[in-house]
Amino acid sequence: MIQASGLHKSYGETVALDGVDLHVREGEIYGVLGRSGAGKSTLLRCVNLLERPGRGTVTVAGQELTALRSGELNHARRRIGMIHQHFALLSSRTVAANVAFPLEVMGVARAERERRVAELLDLVGLGGRGGDRPHQLSGGQKQRVGIARALAGDPAVLLSDEATSALDPATTRSILDLLKRLNAELGLTILLITHEMNVVKSVCDSVAIMAGGRIEESGSIAGLIRTP
């Protein structure tokens, strides 16, 4: 579902990605684990071409994104949802309007948008909260809004950038449970980056360990991490 080959990315003298290959199969939850500065976030941003790799190719859901021009890329990116550590919600918009935002950009008609937003809020356990503003919600609820918004375009792939790092352990658990459920029920492929071993252990099928812009090891969770 996601195939990245030979990715290189430098910022001036800093080499953020130094030849990264990644293969994420359809329907799996794949974790990239590493310390701060390892290159995880650069890798994630290269997967949806928010950042253009200096070298290498990225193919998502059968489409080589690195071969597309920017106009075509915007269209292809609808198949890729993303959630963020600090949620990235628009504070002036209601919860429903945040979730509706990508649908507006896609030109989905108002009635269909409202139907879809209600469905998405139900899916993430926020039915009835559409009229609230983000500041009225807890961190976990804000991340649920982020997840609903990321799913609005019916993506094949969800990218998660440290989605639970700003949350307490119980809330982290509930968000990870939600991701697991979406993976099982929708067949959603999830690529997540994290610095927390516990996140990887509790939800991932496969893991890559990253350091210094390289993947040091990768494979099934059972093979790489011994659980006590």
Residue ranges that bind ligand ADP, judged by CB under 6 A: 11, 14, 16, 34, 36-42, 93-94, 96-97, 100, 110, 113-114, 117-118, 130-131
Q: CB of residue 103 vs ligand ADP: minimum separation in angstroms?
A: 7
Q: CB of residue 187 vs ligand ADP: minimum separation in angstroms?
A: 25
* Measured distance CA(83)–CA(100) in Å, rounded: 15
Return phi, psi of residue 119, to 5°.
-65, -45
Q: Where are the beta strands (DSSP E) in 12-133?
A: 14-24, 29-33, 55-60, 63-64, 80-84
- Token pair recorded at residue 60: 């998502």
> What is the distance between the terminal CA atoms of the chain, rounded to a whole angstrom?
31
Q: CB of residue 36 vs ligand ADP: minimum separation in angstroms?
A: 4
- In the complex with ligand ADP, which residue's Cβ is closer, 100 or 163? 100
* Measured distance CA(174)–CA(220) in Å, rounded: 23
* Residue corresponding to tokens 């650069």: 42
- In the complex with ligand ADP, which residue's Cβ is closer, 64 or 122? 122
Q: CB of residue 166 vs ligand ADP: minimum separation in angstroms?
A: 15
Amino acid occupying residue 35: R
Distances (CA, A) of 151 to 110, 133, 169, 218: 17, 19, 24, 27
- In the complex with ligand ADP, which residue's Cβ is closer, 41 or 48? 41
Q: CB of residue 117 vs ligand ADP: minimum separation in angstroms?
A: 4
* Measured distance CA(189)–CA(168) in Å, rounded: 25
- In the complex with ligand ADP, which residue's Cβ is closer, 21 or 114? 114
* Measured distance CA(140)–CA(147) in Å, rounded: 10
Q: CB of residue 170 vs ligand ADP: minimum separation in angstroms?
A: 25
- In the complex with ligand ADP, which residue's Cβ is closer, 28 or 132? 132
